[in-house]
Amino acid sequence: MTIEELETRARQVRRLVIQMLAKAASGHPGGSLSAADLVTALYANVLRFDPANPRWPQRDRFHMSKGHCCPVWYAVLALHGFFPQEELFTLRQRGSILQGHPDRKTPGVESASGSLGQGLAIALGMSLAARIDKLDYRVYCLLGDGELQEGSVWEAAMACAHFSCDNLCAIVDANGCQIDGRCEDVMGLEPLAAKWQAFGWQVIEINGHDFKQILAAYAQAQTIKNKPTVIIARTVKGKGVSFMEGVVGFHGRAPTADEAERALKELA
């Protein structure tokens, strides 16, 4: 997709996120909206996959470690034909293929997630499996910045560098907020780039809402050899909806019907 097409698609994704969460009256809009551009670009222009054969062995792998933000992932999967878009509006309902956190009953989902701090280790396993199976797929793992306060993330980061996992790219949705407040107030993360560098990673810092920078970062990651890459994407919680942007309260609160109507007007 062109930059203009990606921008249009990302607005569509954000609209679907708002509609899904309002219908469910439950879920996490803030982090879904902040990650929309990153996930949109990844699926539209980077990942190798086949919606008709979600378990195709040569497919690239994507794992959403911050599983509570799965609405943005579901929206992108539906738009790429993994399942009908009507399914989006069954989110969080009993019997739905779209749970509040991802699991393997959803076409296109590789592994369950939601318990923070585990995703990078899962991505490490996928990366090493490619080497063992002599396959050339790449692995992408989306993490939240608040999630980086989990010690298990850094254990996995150390192992990824030790095993020279150059087919692995971590993406940090660094929106500065978590459910308990600003990340810097709960447990400061900076200097974030220096930490990843010290653990042996190639670091790329970008504006996570600039598609030129996003695509350039994904392209650069594919050229790095003998070490994993992390893209630190500086984003805005609730991006695209003015009254949600940077507001901690929308981490885990779905929009009301009135709020959804206002948000959809802004995203038109």
Strand partners, 206: 233
Q: Place 83 in a pLDDT band, splitting at 50, 70 and 90.
A: very high
Segment 123-148 shows an average pLDDT of 97
169 has a pLDDT exceeding 90: yes
pLDDT of residue 177: 86
Domains (ranges, CATH) in the chain? Answer: 3-266 (3.40.50.970)
Percent of the chain with pLDDT over 90: 91
Determine how many CB atoms are found less than 10 A away from the CB of residue 12.
16
pLDDT of residue 119: 95
Residue 203, exposed/middle/buried by CB under 10 A (0-12, 13-18, 19+)?
middle
For the stretch 89-114, pLDDT in tens is 999 999 999 998 999 999 999 999 98
For the stretch 205-234, pLDDT in tens is 999 999 999 999 999 999 999 999 999 999
pLDDT of residue 114: 81
252 has a pLDDT exceeding 90: no
pLDDT of residue 259: 96
User: What integer best gives the mean pLDDT of the chain?
Assistant: 96
144 has a pLDDT exceeding 90: yes
With DSSP H G I counted as helix, E B as strand and the rest as coil, what are the percentages for the chain, rounded to 5? 45, 10, 40
pLDDT of residue 255: 94
